[in-house]
Amino acid sequence: MTVSLWRLDSIDTTLLLTAEGESDVPSIVWFGDRLPDIDDKVLDAVTAMTDLPLPMAKLDESIALSLFPQRSTGMDCTPALRGHFDGNFFDHRVRRIKARGDGLNLCIELRDEAARLEVVLMLSLHQATGVLSFTTTLTNHANDDYTVDWLASATMPLPGSYRECLHLHGRWGLEFQAHRSAIAPGSLTLQSHRGRTSHERYPGLMIGECGFNENSGDVMAANLAWSGSHASSVELMSDGRMCYQSGVSLDPGELRLAAGETFTAPNCYFKRQTVGGLNAVSQQMHHYMRHEVLPSWTRTERPVHANSWEALYFNHDIETLKLLIDAAAEVGAERFILDDGWFPARRSDNAGLGDWTVDGSVYPEGLYPVVEHVRSHGMQFGLWFEPEMVNPDSELYRSHPDWALHLQSHETPLARNQLVLNIDMPEVFDYLYQHIAALVEEYKIDYIKWDHNRDLILAGDGKRSVMHRQTMACYRLMQKLGENYQKLEIESCSSGGARADWGVLRHTGRVWTSDSIDAIDRVKIQRGYSYFNPPEIMGAHVGHAKAHLTGREINIHTRAIVALQGQYGYEIDARKLDAEEKQILSEYVSLYKNNRGWLSGSTTWRLDSAVDCLTCGGLVSDDKKSSWWFAVAEASLAQTVPGTMVLYGLDKETDYRVRIASRNLEELQKFSKKIPAWVIDGITARGAFLMTVGLVLPVMPAQSALLIEVKSV
């Protein structure tokens, strides 16, 4: 039988697919390092790989693990499509109609002629990074409505050597915690039914061979670009084959396709590095994201933020705000964000959401006095919104209670005293756009902090779930604002990092990774976030000495050094800083401003540490001339000294000047009889030396941090 063959090639990656016969659904033979050109011998080998063994107690034909597995063929794994026509055609048999590609893109058309369903698989390999984009589109050509229970964005076979997964779990205030799970017989399933990405489960996985770490091992990243309910699984079948699958998690009866209607699943992205471990995969994902996902404004220098929330909460007062703005400017802020509390009845979180006008009792002249005071310091002005939400105690809800998501037979539970608006309703969408746009125009707003502070429960229009449509409507609202106000920047905040995926980041370009700005908690939060996302889009702020969320007291140097790992800013009442604290923060903000040009395109290196509670990593400029390296002792170390830090990503032949850039040497000397000479005086060393022998670190007490600057001579 004739074997069809398709091949996509990037600079470093090959995707090779085959299908036996003209109608079979293609299967992936290889996804990884670029293969040599295919000759007759290679083609014979590929053909041989389609001749699968047939074990006992199975069907009388061997079944390939295709890009679109189907239960009707006898495939053991989760099918890519589950659905029905009111109970009829409960299973499907799609066949390949045609496939066409151009070396980087492949479109595969499948058809179930009996059910009159069409499936289109789109695969695109990015030339510069080898990141594979995969999505699936389903069209109903039948006369009756088709109910979709599940449509996978992608099904990806996994190498037989893979044995572990790294995934990100968490909770409010402690997101993006890395956790490892063994791949065992059956299925490892990670899912969220919360209507947003969730604090608990980020929709991405790192999958690899046993023992993979930051700098070694064969690893594949899989990342679903979706901001609503989602599900991902890694499945090990009884014959030893494995596959990854992900997609939108749908409520019962939520998605019904009428005649001629189409549903496109969100993109799923893959990157495999057979050597180099997690860092190698992350670096390519970051590069792809910067150039193919994020809004263009993220490529400009990222300004220093100052946010009013932890300084004032709901206690808005114009004169107090002016003093806070003055103090923020004094420590180098370039953008001031007025957080929650500026609209009517908003003296607590009990009321006001949905009434997007300025509270005249607090701001009798509107926001003009505040905005003008911000701009008098040369700062940009930002404003907090929570557009998708409504308080029952609001004029909007009293006028339009039917605008909230609900199910008629049940009372919707409140969260943070609020409900969720059905923004897929045209009148709700228009109401929100008009009110937000009016404020953007009136005050020439530069930036919106877009919050989303609760899960979606009973997310219906009264009768049926609209969970998926809610997420799509949010994208449309953000997109319309971005298109009509192209200089407007939007941050995605969802009670911290509960909506931080690649789907929302096509429209936002900045993430508030956690409501906890406790610097010690932030170390692991920011490290976990870096597995899929570059540092310059991560909001990272200096908080108060006593962290508001945890009560932990942390010194000013550690707070600043941890904040320098992302887009630097302040979540602090700068009015209460003494002269020494202002001086210290001014020095750190100068460090950020002097280096942010290269930081915005830097290469992330997470370092493996043999010492518990010691977290190390670095950011290296694209030209390898500049880098920052961080070491944080999150708690008391089990050994008296932290050991040696070996650097990565430098040029072997270049000489570098190495110095401690943090301002805390005097503090560290209190805990040590002797500080290594290079720590005090700096050192010049060849890149090869720094990447083999490394740097001996000084004694680091609990909750201390170091910032090491390495620049070419």
Q: Which residues are catalytic?
A: 451, 515
Q: How far, in Å, CA of 330 to CA of 587, rounded?
A: 12
Contact 220, 208 (CB under 8 A): yes
Amino acid identity of residue 449, one-letter, is K
Question: CA 365 from chain center: how many Å?
Answer: 39
Closest CA to 339 of 573, 589, 593, 578: 573
Concatenating the DSSP letter of every residue in 563-574 gives HTTSEEEE-S-G
Name the 3-class secondary structure at 9.
strand
Task: Dig out the tokens for 356 from the structure.
Answer: 């997007």
Closest CA to 31 of 169, 194, 220, 192: 220
Contact 703, 634 (CB under 8 A): yes
Q: Which residue's structure tokens are 């096509």?
A: 506
Task: Dig out the tokens for 676 from the structure.
Answer: 């290594």
551 Cβ neighbours under 8 A, 6+ residues apart? none
Contact 542, 563 (CB under 8 A): yes
Closest CA to 230 of 138, 282, 154, 147: 154
Half-sphere exposure of 555 (CA within 13 A, CB side): 19
Cβ burial of 226 (10 Å; 0-12, 13-18, 19+) is buried
What size, in residues, is the chain? 713
Please compute Rg for the chain using Cα positions: 27
User: Going edge to edge, which strands form the sheet with 13-20?
Assistant: 3-9, 13-20, 27-33
Closest CA to 531 of 132, 229, 219, 291: 219
CA distances for 420 relative to 255, 390, 543, angstroms: 20, 6, 30
Closest CA to 449 of 393, 405, 509, 391: 509
Cα angle, residue 578 at apex, residues 576 and 583 outer, rounded to 5°: 120
CA distances for 272 relative to 32, 218, 612, angstroms: 6, 8, 29
Q: How far, in Å, CA of 437 to CA of 422, rounded?
A: 19
Q: Are strands 146-158 and 186-192 parallel, antiparallel or unpaired?
A: unpaired
Q: How far, in Å, CA of 291 to CA of 62, rounded?
A: 42
